Structure 1
Amino acid sequence: MRLFFERGFEATTLDDIAEAAEVSRRSLFHYFASKEEIVFSAKADFPNLVAEAVSRRPAEEPLLDMVENALIDLAMRYQTAQARDLARLIHDTPALSAGDQAKYEKVERVLAKALAERKGLPETDIACRVTAATAIGILKLSTEVWLTGDDAGPEIFGTAAFAALRRVLG
């Protein structure tokens, strides 16, 4: 990841990565099929972290509060300079941003399932699915704002976005 941050995604070759990792290119391909896969491996545990954050919430908490509090907890725990650099790399690299959309879809499914499990509802519960889809939309927006360069963390915008949603819902 250091090479991607220093040189950029396109300028970093698989040979550069293999050399920095002190493995052969062939060994590198044993673990990763592409440079994209290397980048996304750094975020592979994110869906599980979201599910764990939901599982720590009180079961009686309303769905919208549960998902907001879980995402804010997650943002506070894992907000680092490296996480921001990784998000910026993915956001600013066309070859990576398409794959990032697939990641968000997976996180949405995992989040809906985690909400349903926490509430003791069927996995297909529409309220859980709608809440998860909405929350992931807010997560995307919060990440974009975080990357604009101001020092406010994504939890600041996320809190404001959930408050705006509650006003719209009236």
Structure 2
Amino acid sequence: MQNSTIPSGLRERKRVETHARIQLEAIRLFIKHGFEFTTLDDIAEAANVSRRSLFHYFESKEEIVFSTRADFPKLIAEAIGRRPVNEPLLEMVENALIDVVALGVPPQTRNVSRLIRDTPILSARDQAKYEHVEMILVKALSDRKRLPETDTACRVTAATAIGLMKLALKGWLDGTEVSPEKYFKAAFKALRRIAG
């Protein structure tokens, strides 16, 4: 019985390693040559896999790019789940974002974000991602506060947080700071100043 689990474990490890290698090589090529000028054949060759094998991991170039951010909604929801229940909604989101950033921003994140911003087909899809994150935020906030997902305060907070996040990320991409934390804090501070 143990012998049958070992190959399965090795297979899974190989699958994870291949996925990571394809992702890494694709991002390297996109940044070096541009998204439009990099083909799936280029990626397969650089990652040392067949084109057919590549399709076992990713359906498109777009999917490769966005797979680098796939964990973000889950991370932000988990961070909100760890915030104190009595924390005001806006502070809860701000602190959760800062908690996620404190986990560390992978070095390629800024380059990938710039690639998305500067590539029309990717930036259009990125907007849909923000809508998804907003829905996750509403659910996480309402769960934490034990409120229905239709709660107006949770929905307004989530929508506002997405707007502030976009603004902060734009500042980070144009700025010089290594971490986006400063830009998140500045955006939330500006909102409080305007609302106050």
Alpha-carbon separation, structure 1, partners of 2:179 and 2:51: 38
Residues 35-62 of structure 1, C-alpha deviations (whole Å, 9 max, x = no match) = 1111111111111011011111111111
Q: Structure 2: which amino acid aligns with 1:124? A: T
Say whether residues 1:65 and 2:91 are aligned partners.
yes
Residues 41-84 of structure 1, C-alpha deviations (whole Å, 9 max, x = no match) = 11111110110111111111111110010011212323232111
Alpha-carbon separation, structure 1, partners of 2:175 and 2:32: 18
Alpha-carbon separation, structure 1, partners of 2:172 and 2:187: 13
Aligned positions of 1:114-153 closer than 5 A:
114-151=140-177, 153=179
Say whether residues 1:25 and 2:51 are aligned partners.
yes
Unaligned runs of 5+ in 1: none
Give the TM-score, by structure 1 length. Answer: 0.94
Give the TM-score, by structure 2 length. Answer: 0.82
Residues 90-114 of structure 1, C-alpha deviations (whole Å, 9 max, x = no match) = 1111111011111111001001100
Alpha-carbon separation, structure 1, partners of 2:110 and 2:102: 13
Say whether residues 1:106 and 2:132 are aligned partners.
yes
Q: CA deviation at 1:152?
A: 5.7
Q: Structure 1: which amino acid aligns with 2:151? A: D
Q: Structure 2: which amino acid aligns with 1:72? A: I
Give the percent of matched residue pairs that are identical in Structure 1 and Structure 2: 66
1:147 counterpart SS class: helix
Alpha-carbon separation, structure 1, partners of 2:172 and 2:106: 12
Q: Which of residues 81, 99, 108 is equivalent to 1:82?
A: 108
- Does the C-alpha gap of structure 1 residues 93 and 145 become closer, same or farther in structure 2, counting only changes over 3 Å? same
Q: CA deviation at 1:6?
A: 2.3
Aligned positions of 1:1-20 closer than 5 A:
1-20=27-46
- When structure 1 is superposed on structure 2, of 93-102 and 19-28 the one drifting more is 19-28
Q: Which of residues 50, 55, 61 is equivalent to 2:81?
A: 55
Unaligned runs of 5+ in 2: 1-26
1:58 counterpart SS class: coil
2:36 counterpart SS class: coil
> How many matched pairs?
170
Larger relative CO (CA 8 A, sep 6+): 1 or 2?
Answer: 1
